[in-house]
Amino acid sequence: MTPPKPIKENPALSPREPPRTWNALSVSERFRSLYGSRKLLVATHREPVIVQPSTKGASPEGDSPKLRYPAGGVSQSLHRLLLQTGGDWVSLQSSPGPSSLDISIPGNPASYTLFRLSVENPYREEEYQRFSNDLLWPLFHEEPGRVGSRPGDFLGYEAVNRLFADHIARITHRHEIGVLWIHDYQLTLVAKELRALASGPLPPIAFFWHIPWPRQEFLAHIPERRTLLEGLLDYDFLGFQTALYRERFLESVAREFSGSSRINVSPRLVVKDGRRIHVGDYPIGVDPGRFETLSLDPKGQAEARAFLREHGIGPKERLLISVDRMDYTKGFLKRLQILDSFFRSFPEWIGKLRLLQIAPLTRSDHPTYQGYQRKVRDAVRTTNDRWKADDWFPVVSVERTVDHRILAPLYRMASGALVTSTNDGMNLVAKEYLAAQKDEGGILFLSRFTGAAQGLREAVLIDPYDPQTAAAIIHRALAEPLSIRTGRNKILREQISRNNIFQWMGSILTGVHATEQEKQEE
Ligand code: GDG
């Protein structure tokens, strides 16, 4: 066996970038200074918009369709960013309308073009969905009991990744692209396929992994893990949410390819067949200014009060708020157990504190999710039956998306946010809640099993697997003096202001550029 060669990392890619606060303007200026008139091309599995079917029959040519926005961290974060920098976006089409759309939203400086792919072979698309959602999603969230993929599904996964690559290759022929930025576990093989198609040089290809990278034993359940890892190493630049996930990824590469002289691993770099792949941790953030402004907007606040009225909640009631797609990784059942322990241990709260749960349905055509969503509804019913008093009951569950204009004031009005994920790459809701707490003492109760908890050390951390202790922590924190709560929020709010979404993008773009320069100097 050849001993691994020592490899030298690029100091320009040091994790300790000089501190600076990025904003929308500085990130788009940075993009332009690095890439000139060349564009950013983003690819995600899901599209960032839902096109509303026209109610007036066929919509006339050129009419702009009515759009809604799905609940989802990846697509909504990138949507906000591309409205600053412009660019192209490739994703699978999931609502009616044309095969490409120009997305521009008044008040934003740029617009982007959305290219909407459709998979012609429905069987291949089903396999792709199964491999992604029934195998990768549960295993990367350390839930092997929920795996439902079938042998052979990988063929569909490969086919759809190839379709993305084909389409991206066509766009890169027509438009001058500065960076390709591919996202998440559904698209690990796009760089590999692009390299197979390319006849000339490609722009740098970056990839961001939004979900956790699990402990090693969970990868063992994926027969194709080696192909997936090699696929990831076909990118030029890999980003993870936290140092822990980056380290676990590198450990997976080191284990899987131990003994191979083709692949060398160091803390922020992998060298594969002489090609250098930068591997970094870049925790995603939110746009705190936007949530703060929305939370203070009188019109939004009035709409939020109307929303509460509509759901039978009085204007002065104390609330805990939870906002998540109804996915098993978000710990809905654990949350209800915590509430149960809370009322059992501290009955003085009965009639005085409610949980408002905004829970838009997700993947609800899927049997695992149908079963889980049924269980959540049953548990909500049981909790409400157990603790109801007169016409009061403890859980209000709203199974639809609520616009951010209403959501941000709701965050502000709630005494606490309850984040109970059993495993979560980052969790943006935690950061949005803090952004809405200007001068307020709302408490973030944050599951320790989120990427956010790895950075927001001052938050009130809870373990969703230990409902009794979590209930006691909630009880204690709610009684804390306002000065303690606002003091804690001040520290947390400074952190989310610094590590905002623009900082995330700015440091990734800077890193990709440094990687490219290094290649040219070689
Ligand atoms: C994945 C990873 C990682 C939710 N309900 C509504 C609504 N939302 C918005 C929230 C937030 C987003 O969806 C959810 O983001 P999360 O980060 O909490 O969760 P995932 O969707 O699972 O995201 C996650 C993220 O990618 C980014 O890297 O943090 O770990 O799993 O922005 O506000 N938005 C609206 N109405 C709703 O009812 N408008």
- In this predicted structure, the answer to whether residue 314 has a pLDDT above a threshold of 70 is yes
- Over residues 9-47, the pLDDT tens digits come to 665 566 555 556 788 889 989 999 999 999 999 999 999
User: Which residue ranges have their beta carbon within 6 Å of ligand 1?
Assistant: 69, 71-74, 76-77, 210-211, 284, 323, 325, 358, 360, 401-404, 407, 424-429, 432
Atom of ligand 1 nearest to the CA of 428: 17
The alpha carbon of 73 and the centre of ligand 1 are apart by a number of angstroms equal to: 3
Residue 362 vs residue 305, higher pLDDT: 305
Using the Cα atoms of residue 160, residue 166, residue 168 and residue 170 in order, give the sign of their dihedral.
negative
Cβ atoms of 268 and 15 within 8 Å: the answer is: yes
What is the pLDDT, as a whole number, of residue 60? 40
E-state strands within 191-283: 205-209, 237-240, 263-266, 269-272, 275-281
Per the domain annotation, does 137 fall within a domain? no
Same domain, residue pair 357 and 481? yes
Per the domain annotation, does 58 fall within a domain? no
Per the domain annotation, does 3 fall within a domain? no
Same domain, residue pair 239 and 334? no
Same domain, residue pair 442 and 317? yes
Both tokens assigned to 71: 């609940």
Same domain, residue pair 296 and 229? no
Per the domain annotation, does 467 fall within a domain? yes
Q: Give SS3 for 50.
A: strand
Ligand 1: which residue has its CA nearest to atom 37? 401
Domain total of the chain: 2
Same domain, residue pair 426 and 478? yes
Same domain, residue pair 250 and 273? yes
Same domain, residue pair 430 and 470? yes
Both tokens assigned to 239: 């980003």
> What is the pairing mode between strands 318-323 and 353-358?
parallel
Same domain, residue pair 234 and 305? no
What is the pLDDT, as a whole number, of residue 333? 98
Q: What is the mean pLDDT of residues 384-402?
A: 96
Both tokens assigned to 495: 């952190």
What is the pLDDT, as a whole number, of residue 16? 53
Where among 265, 285, 305 does a domain terminate?
285
Question: 51 forms bridges with which residues in the sheet?
Answer: 67
- Over residues 88-112, the pLDDT tens digits come to 999 999 999 999 999 999 989 899 9
Chain centre to alpha carbon of residue 400: 18
Per the domain annotation, does 211 fall within a domain? yes
The alpha carbon of 429 and the centre of ligand 1 are apart by a number of angstroms equal to: 6
The alpha carbon of 322 and the centre of ligand 1 are apart by a number of angstroms equal to: 11
d(CA 21, CA 507): 11
What is the pLDDT, as a whole number, of residue 63? 56
- In this predicted structure, the answer to whether residue 398 has a pLDDT above a threshold of 90 is yes
Q: Distance of CA 196 to CAs 162, 231, 515, Å?
A: 10, 12, 21
Q: What whole-number percentage of the chain has pLDDT above 70?
A: 94
Per the domain annotation, does 24 fall within a domain? yes
Where among 285, 316, 340 does a domain terminate?
285
Same domain, residue pair 103 and 15? yes
- Over residues 39-83, the pLDDT tens digits come to 999 999 999 999 987 654 444 434 567 888 988 889 998 999 999
Same domain, residue pair 299 and 277? no
Same domain, residue pair 294 and 269? no
Per the domain annotation, does 522 fall within a domain? no
The alpha carbon of 71 and the centre of ligand 1 are apart by a number of angstroms equal to: 6
pTM, full prediction: 0.95
Same domain, residue pair 315 and 379? yes
Per the domain annotation, does 343 fall within a domain? yes
Residue 200 pLDDT level (bands cut at 50, 70, 90): confident
Q: What is the CATH number of the domain that holds 452?
A: 3.40.50.2000
Give the domain range for residue 326. Answer: 288-498
Ligand 1: which residue has its CA nearest to atom 5? 71
Ligand 1: which residue has its CA nearest to atom 12? 73
Where among 254, 285, 316 does a domain terminate?
285
